[in-house]
Structures are given as structure tokens and as C-alpha cells.
């Protein structure tokens, strides 16, 4: 889209600021009375029409004011919004959460998710990258008929609730299969499984079905991310989402793989903003803002907020920025 003049940016910011608060279309009179008293009504109307033509505003009804488009929110979040410093009460609330005795990293990210949701009043997501998961051993335990229990031991957990159906005439070969499986899997980082299939081809002739079943169990159950959410149903507090949109939202945040797609980007950008269904994994009328937190300069996780497109971006940025700085400090 074309570059905007300073006045167009001021007017667009005014419309978005008002719409975030009121959820009602904003008229030229609203802009003049609340923000730009020194600009004529005719000029404001002309600029609003131009912004609509450029795709930043829409007009629900001919007689109504304008509402921001997703493109407008994207520009607003990245350039137009004004910083909203946290209040002393906000800062104290965040510090109180982290002043409590924290036992482990899972406890830390749960606290972070809770305080982000409490202060912003949106759904929060906190993700911790865990790149240090190694497979220690894999064992098949033959049961009745052609069924085996698969036990996978990593340096972080033990999986012992998965069963597979064995190939015909397999009984009696469990020891051989276990030796083979451990020669392939033991000592591998969980992030190195993508190329394991080709590397193992020569060794698994005759045990292909068993290998593929074990590989699927590991990929499905051992995740290199720890994800915590809080305030999952706060989306229902906002009028922007109809029943179907709210249902889709709740279904999405209950699936960790989708949450990882939403906020798990690993890049050098401090803040990431995804707006609307084309960017936010198909979530209509929703926006996702996330921020990275680091250890020794390297990203080890992200904290984010999922809420209506009409969210208070300035406040969300300030909360995420402060919480991520607290996480950085604690981890060091």
C-alpha cells in the first residue's frame, strides 16, 4: 500500500484508538472533537474517504462511521500506536508473581502466562523451547497376541502408555528389534528425527512397520516445546467474535501444535504481530502478539497474547516487554 502522509497517519491512529475503546464506527465528527480540533471537518472527511479507498478503513453502512481493516491494525501495531507505560500497580502485580518461590521452569512460565492474562485481560500463551531432549532408550515389551508396549525413555520423561500391533510371525524377535531400535534412536536429539528415516534404511529391513510405529510414537509424544496458556475463555468477554469464531478459537488454543505455529517463530524480531485469519492460523477477528525472551543472547522462548483484532496493542506490547525482561533476568 502507498505511503501515508503525516495527517493520514494521525487520522488513522485516531480512528483505531477510538474503535479499540468503543467498538463502534468512528465518524469524522468523532475524530475532530476528540483528536484533531484544528483540522476542518471537510478535510477529515476527505482523508477518511482516501484511507477507505486505500484499504485501511471500511464503512459498514453508508450513514455510519468507519472501522479499521486488518491492514490498518497491522500498520498501527508496527508504526502508529503510542507507547502506554505500565502503571505502578501493573509493575507491582508482575513483580509479586515472580517474587514467589519458583520451583522449576514450568512453574516460571505458568506464572508468566497467568500475570500476562490477568493484566491484559486476553488469552496468554508462553512457550519455552527445549532443544536439549535426548532419547536414552527404546524398548518393546511383548504382550498377548500380536501387541507390544513401547517404552521410550528420554532425559526428561518416560513414555509407557503406547501400544503397537506387531507384524505377523514377529513373536520371539523382540530382543533383536530392541537392539536395532536402540542402535537407531538412542543418543539422538529429538530435533534430529526428521532425517532418521533415510539414515536407518539399511538397518531396518524386515522391521519397517515396527520402526515406523515407534518413530510416530516418539514424534507425537516427545515435544521440544513446553507451552502454557491462561485465560482461555476471555475471548468470550469481547463482542467481536460470534459463536462459531469463539468455538474455533477455543478449539485452536487447546492444541499445542497450533499454538506453536501461532507464536513459535524463531527469528531476530523482538515483537511479532499476526492479524486476521490469513496470518493467525485461520482465526477470524483475532490477533496474536508475541515477544521473545532470551538467555545469553539466544532466544529460548516466546510469550504472547491472543485476543480480538480490536485489542489494546499499546498495553499488550508494554506488558509483554516487561514480562520478557523479567524472564530474561530470572533465567540469567
- Comparison of pLDDT for 29 and 258, the residue scoring more: 29
DSSP alpha helices (H): ranges in 256-312? 256-263
**pLDDT at 205 exceeding the cut of 70:** no
Q: What single string gives the DSSP state of each residue in 266-306?
A: -SS-SEEEEESTTTTTT-TTEEEEEEEEEETTEEEEEEEEE
> Residue 58 is part of which domain span?
6-80
Q: Cα–Cα–Cα angle for 133, 266, 220, nearest 5°?
A: 40
Longest CA–CA span in the chain (Å) reads 89
**pLDDT at 233 exceeding the cut of 80:** yes
Name every residue whose Cβ is closer than 8 Å to that of residue 58 and which is 6 or more positions away in sequence.
52, 66, 67, 68, 69
Tens digits of per-residue pLDDT, 190-204? 878 777 766 556 566
Last residue of a domain, one of 63, 80, 97: 80
Last residue of a domain, one of 221, 237, 259: 221
CA dist 129 and 113 (Å) reads 15
Residues 230 and 116 in one domain: yes
Q: Quick check: pTM over 0.85?
A: no
Q: Cβ(321)–Cβ(291) under 8 Å?
A: yes
Sort 89 into a burial class: Cβ within 10 Å, 0-12 / 13-18 / 19+: exposed
Lowest mean pLDDT among 125-129, 205-209, 276-280, 288-292: 205-209
Among 53, 79, 64, which Cα is nearest to 25's? 64
Tens digits of per-residue pLDDT, 173-182? 888 889 989 9
Tens digits of per-residue pLDDT, 73-96? 999 999 999 889 999 999 999 998
Number of domains comprising the chain: 3
Q: What is the pLDDT of residue 105?
A: 74
Q: What is the mean pLDDT of the chain?
A: 86
- Comparison of pLDDT for 40 and 173, the residue scoring more: 40
Residue 1 lies in a domain: no
- 151: CATH: 3.30.390
Amino acid at each position: 500500500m502507498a505511503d501515508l502522509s503525516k495527517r493520514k497517519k494521525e487520522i488513522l491512529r485516531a480512528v483505531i484508538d477510538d474503535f479499540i475503546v468503543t467498538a463502534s464506527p468512528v465518524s469524522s465528527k468523532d475524530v475532530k472533537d476528540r483528536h484533531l480540533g484544528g483540522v476542518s471537518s471537510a478535510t477529515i472527511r476527505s482523508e477518511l474517504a482516501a484511507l477507505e479507498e486505500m484499504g485501511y478503513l471500511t464503512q459498514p453502512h453508508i450513514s455510519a462511521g468507519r472501522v479499521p481493516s486488518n491492514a490498518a491494525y497491522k500498520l498501527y501495531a508496527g508504526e502508529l500506536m503510542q507507547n502506554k507505560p505500565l502503571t505502578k500497580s501493573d509493575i507491582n502485580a508482575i513483580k509479586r508473581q515472580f517474587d514467589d518461590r519458583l520451583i522449576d521452569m514450568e512453574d516460571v512460565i505458568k506464572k508468566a502466562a497467568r500475570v500476562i492474562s490477568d493484566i491484559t485481560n486476553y488469552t496468554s500463551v508462553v512457550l519455552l523451547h527445549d532443544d536439549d531432549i535426548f532419547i536414552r532408550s527404546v524398548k518393546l515389551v511383548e504382550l498377548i497376541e500380536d501387541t507390544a508396549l513401547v517404552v521410550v525413555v528420554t532425559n526428561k520423561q518416560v513414555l509407557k502408555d503406547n501400544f503397537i500391533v506387531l507384524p505377523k510371525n514377529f513373536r520371539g524377535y523382540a530382543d533383536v528389534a530392541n537392539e536395532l531400535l536402540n542402535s537407531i534412536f538412542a543418543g539422538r536429539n529429538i530435533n534430529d528425527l526428521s532425517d532418521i528415516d533415510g539414515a536407518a534404511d539399511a538397518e531396518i529391513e524386515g522391521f519397517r512397520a515396527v520402526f515406523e510405529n515407534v518413530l510416530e510414537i516418539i514424534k507425537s509424544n516427545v515435544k521440544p516445546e513446553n507451552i502454557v496458556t491462561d485465560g482461555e475463555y476471555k475471548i468470550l468477554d469481547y463482542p467481536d467474535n460470534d459463536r462459531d469464531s469463539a468455538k474455533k478459537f477455543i478449539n485452536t488454543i487447546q492444541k499445542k501444535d497450533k499454538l506453536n505455529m501461532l507464536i513459535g517463530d524463531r527469528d531476530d524480531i523482538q515483537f511479532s504481530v499476526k492479524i486476521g485469519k490469513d496470518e493467525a492460523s485461520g482465526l477470524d477477528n483475532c490477533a496474536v502478539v508475541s515477544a521473545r525472551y532470551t538467555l545469553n543472547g539466544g532466544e529460548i522462548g516466546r510469550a504472547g497474547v491472543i485476543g480480538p483484532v480490536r485489542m489494546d496493542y499499546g498495553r499488550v506490547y508494554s506488558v509483554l516487554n516487561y514480562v520478557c525482561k523479567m524472564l530474561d533476568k530470572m533465567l540469567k
